[in-house]
Amino acid sequence: DGKIARVEELTRVPADVQDALITILSEKVLPIAELGREVQAVHGFNVIATSNDRDRGVNDLSSALKRRFNTVVLPLPATAEEEIEIVRQRVESLGRGLALPVEAPALEAIQRIVTIFRELRTGRTENGDAKLKSPTSTLSTA
């Protein structure tokens, strides 16, 4: 059976690679000009790609490529508590995966990091006292 290929940061992929993806997705074939041959995809092959919606203008996707993907927008967590819990679970999972000593994630440090990221994303401190310059790229605690 075919496998799923994942392409990270699709809007950062050069235009020639994006063009090749159109052929791969529509015809399920990858021509390799240098070898004078092509590779046919096996049944079940598909592509999942990620991109940040704030990365517009890096390498915009053509309308032809956009039509070949179903777009799913994942919103930011609604509350700081929700984001803290996501980060805490992810830290625990990564710790287990790396066989680190079993230790509860430092909740206070996670809270500080999440607060910093949320303040930068909104351009305002948590208490509303100060405005911050928001970055132009996506900020994720993930």
DSSP string computed for 46-110? EEEE---GGGTTSSPPPHHHHTTS-----PPPSSHHHHHHHHHHHHHHHHHHTTPPP----HHHH
Judge whether residue 142 has pLDDT over 70. no
Looking at every residue in the chain, the average pLDDT score rounds to 87
SS3 state of residue 9:
coil
Mean pLDDT of 119-129: 85
Q: Which two tokens stand for residue 132?
A: 């911050």
Bridge-based pairing state of the strands 29-32 and 37-40: antiparallel
The pTM of the full predicted model, rounded to 2 decimals, is 0.63
* pLDDT confidence of residue 133: 77
Q: Model confidence at 27, in pLDDT bands (50, 70, 90)?
A: very high
